[in-house]
Amino acid sequence: MTNIDVLIPARNEEQALPLVVAALPAKFIRQIYVVDNGSTDKTAQIAHDLGCRVVSCPVAGYGRACLAGLAEMASNPPDIVVFLDGDFSDNPQELTRLIGPIVSGSADLVLGSRVMGQAAKGSLTFVQRFGNALATQMMAWLWGHRYTDLGPFRAISWRALQLLDMEDVNYGWTIEMQIKALQQKLAIIEMGVSYRQRIGKSKISGTISGSVKAGTKIIWTILKYRWRR
């Protein structure tokens, strides 16, 4: 039997989190980890009440939250890790499609692409679309592989994840994973997923300053790993 764990970084997602957990296909999942990333609402308590394993990560940072969750998993690692946001913008029921190619042995990393799938009107801001286009074009120039998206909804085998030696603590987490996957020559599949407007305000693309910081971080991350090569 394939053990599948879900990792949900969450910061002030008390409204959305119950919807996310309820929509996950529970029969395929061994454990749901919710990383409380400095929430000031009842996110942690709600996650606990929903039966999730709650990991505390008080210092904000998407990558930092992911690293904290993975550290908690490491004592009893799964075969596959699924990363999913806690804002209900992705469709958790599509998890089964993402894990399929890994279970069958045809992929190490499966990326949920909002560009290839069905994104509801207004769910992807202009800044997000521009950032995706710029980053994926830069990676195509530098590594010869054209991704379509940098979305957070993704699945990866634990074995492959260990090869990546992930380290980014902020906005560069997803792009670091995609670059290192190319460097490690992992079997990568992009798969269209649906996407809707999140519940609540985005911590990144919902503000001008957040968008600028994220964009700068993405470009810096791409150049950093190019220089390291």
Nearest-angstrom CA–CA distance, 196 and 78:
29
The tokens 């992992």 sit on which residue?
186
Mean pLDDT over 137-157 rounds to: 96
Please choose, from the candidates 83, 97, 213, the residue with its C-alpha nearest in 3D space to the C-alpha of residue 161.
Answer: 83
What pLDDT is attached to residue 118?
A: 84
- Tell me the pLDDT band of 200, cut-offs 50, 70 and 90: low
> Does the pLDDT value for residue 14 go beyond 80?
yes
Total H helices, total E strands in the chain? 8, 7
Would 108 be classed as within a structural domain? yes
Mean pLDDT over 141-148 rounds to: 95
Would 161 be classed as within a structural domain? yes
Would 159 be classed as within a structural domain? yes
Give this prediction's pTM.
0.92
Would 27 be classed as within a structural domain? yes
Would 185 be classed as within a structural domain? yes
Find the domain containing 81 and state its range: 4-123+148-198
CATH of the domain at 101: 3.90.550.10
What pLDDT is attached to residue 205?
A: 47
Nearest-angstrom CA–CA distance, 214 and 137:
17
Pairing type for strands 80-83 and 154-157 reads antiparallel
End-to-end CA distance of the chain: 37
Tens digits of per-residue pLDDT, 15-53?
999 999 999 999 999 999 999 999 999 999 999 999 999
Would 218 be classed as within a structural domain? no
For residues 102 and 197, the model is more confident at 102
Give the CA dihedral 148, 151, 153, 155, nearest 10 degrees: 50
Domain count of the chain?
A: 1
Tens digits of per-residue pLDDT, 129-143?
888 888 999 999 999
Would 212 be classed as within a structural domain? no
Would 100 be classed as within a structural domain? yes
Work out the mean pLDDT of the chain and round it to a whole number: 92
Tens digits of per-residue pLDDT, 79-113?
999 999 999 999 999 999 999 999 999 999 999 99
> Does the pLDDT value for residue 206 go beyond 60?
no
C-beta of residue 225 within 8 angstroms of C-beta of residue 167: no
Residues making up the chain, counted from first to last:
229
C-beta of residue 212 within 8 angstroms of C-beta of residue 170: no
